[in-house]
Amino acid sequence: MVGVLGLIVAIICVVALIWKNWHMAVVSLVGALVVILFNGMDPVLVLKDNFMKGMAGFAGNWYLLFMLGAIFGKVMGDSGASVGIANRMLKLIGEKSVVLVVMLTGLVLSYGGIGTFIIAFSLYPIAVALFQKADIPKKLIVATIMVCPVTVCMAMLPGSPSTQNLIPTTYFGTTAYAGPTLGIICSIIMFVSAYLYLNWQIRKAKANGEHFEPSEGEDLSALEAVNNGNVPSITNCFIPIVILLALMFGLQFTTKIPSAYAVAIAMAVAILAGCVLYRDFLDPKKAICDGAGGGLGSLIATSSIMGFGAVVSASPAYSNITKALVNMQADPLITALISINVIAAITGSSAGGLNIFLSSMGNYLAGSGLNLSMLHRVVCIASSGFDAMPHASGMVVCNQIAKTSQKDTYKYVFVTCAIMPFLCAVIACILGRMGIV
């Protein structure tokens, strides 16, 4: 019981320190030490074998993509290309469709196999330009960027290459296209609900006299450059984006190169193209160096919170909680819905919640007599709910990139990336029981 209390206290400490804008490296260590203290664990061994390995493992796996993603975003931002794209979009669709453009762009990139972290780096320069031009308060930008990649594309749309959509295939013998009707229905509900909610919040903010304000220390000089006409041609603005998408899809469908490396190659070529095309509008060396520094700073912050998650996962209390959850004497779908969300909330990881639950209960669910395609889609959607906690890595990264505080942005993230997908999971359970697959 003391150990469980320790997990609760640790998460409260982590959230409170994040709210106060403490650096994630400090936050994660404080949280880890609280878990260690309450669970009677050896601090030296746990920090060495769990915290450091969890942190180093994530940093090693994501080093290249974080750095390239940040450099790409910096090249597009500093050159004014992202603002040029934003201007053209605003002329075509109007200021009222800014949220729709950002959401659809995130959806396309995510369904194409680009990870959430890289989408945040790539999409932010365009999103911030759109928000500035449409005078939308910046506190809504994180939710707008993240909502599709961490809900619709991660768990709901059939065929998505996300880890969450592939994990159940191992246990149920299904494919990434399992539960198509269920997935499409929930995707539509999720997308429309988030779109309407975000636009409602924009109207409320504007009615209260709120406006776009750049974050402290944020350089938006490229926006002024656009106003003065010192920008690349609209064709050149789009070329790196087209190269990125074309190469990424081409390499994934025509070669056996792993998805992460295909994205890295495509991004590197897009960066080179941007440096050549925009050589008259930016200092390539400065953009690359500043981008690399920013990307690695975000990587350290995110890796630190993964170290905290590794300590939580190694604690006796966490083991007891997961055992109690997976052994619930309840309907299999209700057990899955509750268990996956509780585990995901503790660790801040949807994949973690899904993997831990299925490793214990996957065979039981497979033998329950329920439709396996339906089970696949339901557990996937369930994993996209309360993983979106303040200490979730995706939330940490996006706020780092946008230079925003979770105190300002998390309210909207919680509604769009936690409550709404959880309700979609409830709907999926009901529809699944009705025989809709």
pLDDT, average across residues 35-60: 93
Q: How confident is the model at residue 324, as a pLDDT? A: 85
Higher-confidence position of 227 and 422:
422
If we measure between CA atoms, which residue out of 304, 283, 224 comes closest to residue 30? 304
Residue 30 burial class via C-beta count within 10 angstroms: exposed 0-12, middle 13-18, buried 19 and up: middle
Tell me how long the chain is: 437
Say whether pLDDT at 222 is over 60: no
Q: Which two tokens stand for residue 272?
A: 């080179």
Say whether pLDDT at 415 is over 70: yes
pLDDT, average across residues 394-403: 90
pLDDT, average across residues 366-379: 94
Encode pLDDT of 298-349 as tens digits. Answer: 888 888 888 998 898 899 998 888 888 877 778 899 999 999 999 999 888 8
Write the CA distances from 259 to 135, 162, 265, 267, 399, integer angstroms: 37, 10, 10, 12, 25
Higher-confidence position of 219 and 229:
219
Tokens 């400090």: give the residue: 26
Higher-confidence position of 298 and 374:
374
Judged by phi (left if over 0) then psi (alpha if -120 to 50, else beta), residue 115 lies in: beta
Encode pLDDT of 248-265 as tens digits. Answer: 878 878 888 877 788 889
Q: How confident is the model at residue 221, as a pLDDT? A: 58
Place 228 in a pLDDT band, splitting at 50, 70 and 90.
low
Say whether pLDDT at 40 is over 90: yes
Per-residue DSSP letter, 368: S
pLDDT, average across residues 99-128: 86
Q: How confident is the model at residue 252, as a pLDDT? A: 74
Secondary structure of 306-338 as H, E, C letters: HHHHHHHHHCHHHHHHHHHHHCCCCCHHHHHHH
Say whether pLDDT at 153 is over 90: yes
Encode pLDDT of 263-280 as tens digits. Answer: 889 889 999 999 999 998
Q: How confident is the model at residue 10, as a pLDDT? A: 93
If we measure between CA atoms, which residue out of 104, 115, 185, 118 comes closest to residue 147? 104
Q: Which two tokens stand for residue 95?
A: 């200021």
pLDDT, average across residues 176-192: 97
DSSP assignment of 270-293 equals HHHHHHHHTTTTS-HHHHHHHHHH
Say whether pLDDT at 429 is over 80: yes
Tell me the percentage of the chain whose pLDDT exceeds 90. 50
Rg value, the chain, Cα: 22
Q: How confident is the model at residue 227, as a pLDDT? A: 53
Query: 49-53, 62-66, 181-185, 245-249 — which one is most confidently predicted on average?
Result: 181-185
- In this structure, of 94-98, 137-141, 188-192, 353-357, the range with the lowest mean pLDDT score is 94-98
Q: How confident is the model at residue 77, as a pLDDT? A: 82
Higher-confidence position of 89 and 403:
403
